[in-house]
Amino acid sequence: MKFKNKKLLIYRIAVFTVCVFTLFGMDFFNIGEAGFKTYSGGAGLPEMQFGCDPDRLYHIIGRLGSEGRLFYLRSLLYDFIFIAGFALTQAELMKIFLGKGLINGKWRYAVSLSYLRGFFDIMENILIITILTHYPMRLYLLAELACLSTTLKFIILALWVMAALIAVVMNMLMKKDKGSIY
């Protein structure tokens, strides 16, 4: 396979590599889910649970202790790198799935789902960081907004997956129609 735009190929490989290394780096440096569980008494990351609840969020933050809250704060700061890499990876994958036939039409807006998911992920992190830095003060409105951001992040991720599957199928059908002798 010959690539016409080598700069684009290098960019896509670099974005994907950052995303993968950040994800594996979180486990390697024990700043991901496994590290969090050591401080939380086995509870998972609140921002990785669909249907986050403000009371549960505060319960988990309380169980962390001061050292665990500092750990969580640092992991959320590291998570910003992953969010950026993942959003760019999703966007580039969607462009590939859409192909030349769909990227120039209304389907091009499906790429924005990647950035919208990333936006809500960033908002979630900012809100949780604010909650952590003001703990033990209870900022329920911010906790509600953080949980809403988590829910929207997962909904938009599901929409992105559906759009990607539809784009792949549509591209396959378009290629099949081009090969038709009728």
Dist. CA 176–CA 180, nearest whole Å: 7
Dist. CA 55–CA 115, nearest whole Å: 29
**Predicted confidence (pLDDT) at residue 182 exceeds the cutoff of 50:** no
**Predicted confidence (pLDDT) at residue 28 exceeds the cutoff of 90:** no
Q: What is the pLDDT of residues 134-154, one digit of tens each?
A: 999 999 999 999 999 999 999
pLDDT at 75: 92
**Predicted confidence (pLDDT) at residue 1 exceeds the cutoff of 60:** no
Q: What is the DSSP letter of 135?
A: T
Q: What is the pLDDT of residues 49-106, one digit of tens each?
A: 888 899 999 999 999 999 999 999 999 998 999 999 999 999 999 998 988 877 777 8
Alpha-carbon distances, residue 10 vs 4, 16, 19, 112 (angstroms): 12, 10, 14, 22
pLDDT at 181: 46
User: Which residue in 112, 92, 106, 105 sits closest to 156, CA to CA?
Assistant: 112
Mean pLDDT of the chain: 88
Q: What's CA 118's distance to the chain center, in Å?
A: 5
For the chain, give the percent of residues with pLDDT over 90.
54
pLDDT at 84: 92
pLDDT at 3: 60
Q: Name the pLDDT band for 123 (thresholds 50, 70, 90).
A: very high
Q: What is the mean pLDDT of residues 105-120?
A: 93
- Reduce the secondary structure of 18-85 to three states and give it as a string: HHHHHHHHHHHCCCCHHHHHHHHCCCCCHHHCCCCCHHHHHHHHHHHHHHHHHHHHHHHHHHHHHHHH
Check: pTM over 0.75? Answer yes or no: yes
